[in-house]
Amino acid sequence: MTPDQLRTALRELNGERAATFALVGIAEVIVVHNAMLIPDEPDHLVKVTDGQNVYFHAYVTSTTDDSVFSCPTGTGCTTRTILATGQHFSYATAGLAGDNGYAYWTAMNGKDIYVRKCAATGCNNAPTEVAHIAASTFSPWVGGVALDKNYAYFLLDDGGTTTVYRVVK
């Protein structure tokens, strides 16, 4: 599914509806209450919100490559808080989610896969490691991150075997 197809399918998510995601082969479904899709903007950055803050990652300059940012909703992100730099995202579509004033994201470095979090107000470029998995192949692929009340979920393709992990937030 392309980003435009996904935006079309989810365009009714305006913060007043829940979105339910079910994955083939996984018994558990993920429900995102008050889900909101942030419209595509001229910068084309992938952004998510928890209703209080907007979170995004970008390759902005040589000093903020692979960085995660936050800004309060309704501000147009004219002032950004750098949450973490040097995160080694898996491709340009690294997993990113926001919940209750925290950003969560997936990152990788060689065979090491991470889920990290940081408060929207910042964490002195020292995000908390929520999960760390050593993949068995040197070129794993780590996908999106989804959240519920207690857990963070993320995908890992390790040598052709895709697994959904659940870790305590």
Output the CATH code of domain 41-168.
Answer: 2.130.10.120
Q: What is the pLDDT of residues 1-31, one digit of tens each?
A: 566 666 666 666 666 767 777 666 666 776 7
pLDDT at residue number 93: 46
Q: What is the pLDDT of residues 35-47, one digit of tens each?
A: 666 666 676 676 7
pLDDT at residue number 12: 66
Neighbour count for residue 122 (Cβ, 10 Å): 14
Q: What is the pLDDT of residues 108-148, one digit of tens each?
A: 777 888 889 999 999 999 999 999 988 887 777 777 788 88
Q: What is the mean pLDDT of residues 87-100?
A: 71
pLDDT at residue number 54: 87
Q: What is the mean pLDDT of residues 79-105?
A: 79
What is the reported pTM? 0.73
pLDDT at residue number 92: 43
Rounded to 5 degrees, φ, ψ at 136 are: -85, -20
